[in-house]
Amino acid sequence: MHHTTLPHDRSSQLWVEHTPTDKLMASIRRWVTTLMHDEGITNPLARDEETVVAKIFTKEEGILAGITAADYLLKDWLPGAKWRWTIGDGGMVNAGKMILELEGGREQILNAERIILNLIGRLSGIATNTSHWVQRARPTKVASTRKVHWGLLDKWAVSLGGGLTHRLTRKDAKMIKENDLATMIHKDEKRPKGVKRIVNELELDDLGAFAVLEVKTIDEAIAAAESWVERMGIEGRQDRLTVMLDNMPPEKAKNVILDLETRKFRGLVIIEVSGGIEYDELQIWNELGVDVISSSRLHRGASPLDVTMLFEGA
């Protein structure tokens, strides 16, 4: 059984109808400013007298991401420059595709060249890598984690590649992880019993976008699901709880899934697996019937898409 809709997709907080939200634009401004400052550039680059035309080409196929961020850089940091994009964020490209034609001062463009290429290359690499995971795992969904380097920009790139963003911030959704459980379970309490108590004590109206409980064992997973379904029945609600099987091998995860399906709990329980998931294992997890696979490898394991800038006449 696969849930067809999952609350792990928070992309609408970043990107709506091919347009960045205020939240995403604020993040873009912060990151672009930081990258420029790290390059020693603290003010917009004045246009010099020598005008040149430069073009950015892809050197391999992939999915583009970062165009909106690069466009912001051009608008705010290269006054007087003129440019034209041939494709937007989320577009599929082949090797040799010209994606940008830029006219400006020679030194102006040279000073911004590496930052523009890094933005497009890195974020496009994440989008492209994510698309590979999505295709291999289908119909199981794949989601990123919060182990990101460029914050919301990484999450945005994952979304452009077809993945789910998962939480955008710690407060975005209620997630009870191993460290939380360590402080919440009483010293004289067995862990499955403690998990049941914690589920029963959750403030249902304070869960954020969704709720996730991380478990390590089969008994903990079953205890969480059983307690949640019982509580929903008592309170007459249909909220879903995500039970995250953390670093649980496939054979144990299979036992959890079979047990929950036998008890008809899957309607109210989303099964997420995370921790050490390898690309080559995705089909195994898909066949088990998990709902979502979360992995930092979507962004941390991505190689940048190879893009280059060439000046006319070069």
Residues 90-118 have pLDDT tens digits of 999 999 999 999 999 999 999 999 999 99
Q: How far apart are CA 253 and CA 97, in angstroms?
A: 44
pLDDT recorded at residue 313? 73
Please check whether residue 3 lies inside any domain of the structure.
Answer: no
Question: Is pLDDT above 60 for 1?
Answer: no
Among 239, 268, 273, CA closest to 256: 273
Q: List the structure tokens of 101.
A: 């034609």
pLDDT recorded at residue 251? 94
Among 172, 173, 155, CA closest to 164: 155
Same-domain pairing of 262 and 152: yes
| Cβ contact 260:241 at 8 Å | no
| Cβ contact 73:36 at 8 Å | yes
Please check whether residue 7 lies inside any domain of the structure.
Answer: no
Q: For strand 82-85 and strand 98-105, is the pairing parallel, antiparallel, or unpaired?
A: antiparallel
Tell me, what amino acid is at 36?
Answer: M
Please check whether residue 78 lies inside any domain of the structure.
Answer: yes
pLDDT digits (tens, 9 = 90+) for 248-262: 999 999 999 999 999
pLDDT recorded at residue 185? 87
Same-domain pairing of 180 and 193: yes
Same-domain pairing of 144 and 87: no
pLDDT recorded at residue 36? 98
Question: Mean pLDDT throughout 247-276?
Answer: 94
pLDDT recorded at residue 183? 87
Specify the 3-state DSSP secondary structure of 232: helix
Please check whether residue 170 lies inside any domain of the structure.
Answer: yes
Same-domain pairing of 126 and 211: no
Instruction: Report the helix count and the strand count for the chain, using DSSP H and E.
Output: 10, 14
| Cβ contact 279:308 at 8 Å | no
Please check whether residue 116 lies inside any domain of the structure.
Answer: yes
Same-domain pairing of 164 and 251: yes
Residue in the structure block whose two tokens are 């939240």: 23
For residue 22, the enclosing domain spans 12-130+303-311
Same-domain pairing of 251 and 235: yes
pLDDT recorded at residue 31? 98
Q: Report the share of the chain in percent with pLDDT over 70.
A: 98
Q: List the structure tokens of 113.
A: 């060249």
Same-domain pairing of 107 and 143: no
Same-domain pairing of 244 and 221: yes
Beta bridge partners of 274: 246, 294
Question: Is pLDDT above 80 for 207?
Answer: yes
pTM: 0.94
pLDDT recorded at residue 161? 98
Please check whether residue 5 lies inside any domain of the structure.
Answer: no
Whether cis (ω within 30° of 0) applies to the bond prior to 139 is yes
Mean pLDDT taken over the chain? 94
| Cβ contact 279:137 at 8 Å | no
pLDDT digits (tens, 9 = 90+) for 157-195: 999 999 999 999 988 999 998 888 888 888 888 888 999
Question: Mean pLDDT throughout 257-271?
Answer: 94
Tell me, what amino acid is at 144?
Answer: S
pLDDT recorded at residue 4? 61
Total tally of structural domains belonging to the chain: 2
Burial track 6-42 (b if 16+ CB lie within 10 A, e otherwise)? bbbbbbebbbeeeebbeebeebbeebbbebbeeeeee
pLDDT recorded at residue 301? 85
pLDDT recorded at residue 174? 92
| CATH number for position 21 | 3.90.1170.20
Please check whether residue 91 lies inside any domain of the structure.
Answer: yes
Same-domain pairing of 284 and 156: yes
Same-domain pairing of 160 and 284: yes
Same-domain pairing of 177 and 221: yes
pLDDT recorded at residue 191? 87
Question: Is pLDDT above 70 for 314?
Answer: no
Q: For strand 82-85 and strand 51-58, is the pairing parallel, antiparallel, or unpaired?
A: unpaired
Please check whether residue 104 lies inside any domain of the structure.
Answer: yes
| CATH number for position 214 | 3.20.20.70
Same-domain pairing of 153 and 270: yes
pLDDT recorded at residue 29? 98
